[in-house]
Amino acid sequence: MTKLDSMKKCFLTLPLVCILALCLTGAARVQLPEVRAVWVTRFDYKSPSDVSAIIANCARAGFTDVFFQVRGNGTVFYPSRVEPWAFELSGKDVSATGRNPGWDPLRTAADQAKQVGVRLHAYINVLPGWRGREDPPRAAGQLWTAHPDWFMIDSTGTRMRATSRWYSFVNPARLDVRQHLAQLAAELSGYDLAGLHLDYIRFPYDYKGVAREIYPDTSPEELKKHSDFSYDPTSISMVHKQYGRKVSQKEWNTFRRKSVTQVVTDLRQIFKNRRGPQAVISASVMADFDDGYSTAFQDSCHWAKKRIVDWLVPMNYNARLFDARLKKMCHELGRRSTRQQLVVGINCNAQPEEIRRQIAAVRAAGCRGFALFAYSYLFENHRPTDKARALMRSR
């Protein structure tokens, strides 16, 4: 069988044929091996058979890397000494928080990934500490009840409250918070993983969009104050010590930005010290680096250029702005970082033709690769969705 015949056979048999086809035809343009990643969220699995099917499907679809979520909001999907089990594995509501499901999703995923030759990355929401209006049981020792002082404080002096579908964040300026997160990285480094993938590594600039659930009768001006974080005693003391009693908005923003960067630096150091320099530290970031810098205090370009992260994964999910943002991020990073570190996030909520076009644009820009969000758009009950089948038909 010739190489061409072999490629044609792959096109006809793989469930996400267009992805693999594009990978095979376009990889030569990239100097380093192309990254073809997919996000698998914590909502995609409940059992060992789910995890095995996920990893097998990702491998057959031609993905090289899987971002496998094991932390959502101060609960985890592996046996941890520092955070309780997520209730989603063993119960229907938060009352099951901390209940051992009797198996280790991350171990199952790591073992399966090794067998099929896919690189597995532990994917964690870094700063979210709780989600939902109901408190976890105190006996679980979850952060929301065990360490209420760790959570961000808004500009009115009120602790950040989670909504029914959104998170409350812990404060990256606190040493005890950073030490806690470092312990998680140390635990994860004990698994046979290719890397650590960081999400929600930023300030919650977008809380204003959900805050009215908590403050239904608040004026727009007051709502804005309830969406500006973290004005806790620890941060205020540190800012005054660094800048004096009169602190400008620029200085306050710089402090918050450096706090986030320090967490990334800490997690990188812990994970690489234990897994080795070849371990990949990646981060999901805002697609507009300037907005991320000024509103979420996420210094993405600095992280890439100083090699604090190995891969920068901007979530370029707005189809209308996709090309403009891609061009801007490549310009801001420069050709070298684009080629070595830029893995562009693509939203599979788009139509198949648009997904294919965006992948082609990423390749034409000379990026390191792409990451698709998410597995659930491509597989349902571990079978190809209508979208996946449409991708096949449109090859």
The domain containing residue 38 runs over which residues? 3-393
How far is it, in rounded angstroms, from Cα 378 to Cα 10? Answer: 18
What phi-psi label fits residue 276: left (phi over 0), alpha (psi between -120 and 50 degrees) or beta?
Answer: left
Structure tokens at 85: 């089990």
How far is it, in rounded angstroms, from Cα 183 to Cα 71? Answer: 13
CB hemisphere CA count around 323 (13 angstroms): 6
Q: Is the pTM of this model over 0.85?
A: yes
Residue 8 has pLDDT above 90, yes or no: no
Mean pLDDT for the chain overall: 92
Check if the beta carbon of residue 344 is closer than 8 Å to that of residue 12.
no
Residues β-bridged to residue 371:
37, 345
Check if the beta carbon of residue 70 is closer than 8 Å to that of residue 105.
yes
- Alpha-helical (H) ranges within 193-345 are 220-225, 233-243, 249-275, 289-295, 300-305, 322-341
**Predicted pLDDT of residue 127:** 98
From the number of C-beta atoms within 10 Å of its C-beta (0-12, 13-18, 19+), residue 81 rates as exposed
Backbone angles phi, psi at 184, to 5 degrees: -65, -45
How many helices (H) and strands (E) would you count in the chain? 15, 12
Percent of the chain exceeding pLDDT 90 equals 89
Domain CATH for 386 = 3.20.20.80
- CA 202 distance to own-chain centroid: 11
CB hemisphere CA count around 96 (13 angstroms): 11
How many structural domains are present in the chain? Answer: 1
Residues 6+ apart with CB under 8 A from 95: 87, 137
Structure confidence by residue, pLDDT tens digits, 319-371:
999 999 999 999 999 999 999 999 999 999 999 999 999 999 999 999 999 99
**Predicted pLDDT of residue 16:** 53
Structure confidence by residue, pLDDT tens digits, 25-62:
444 444 699 999 999 999 999 999 999 999 999 999 99
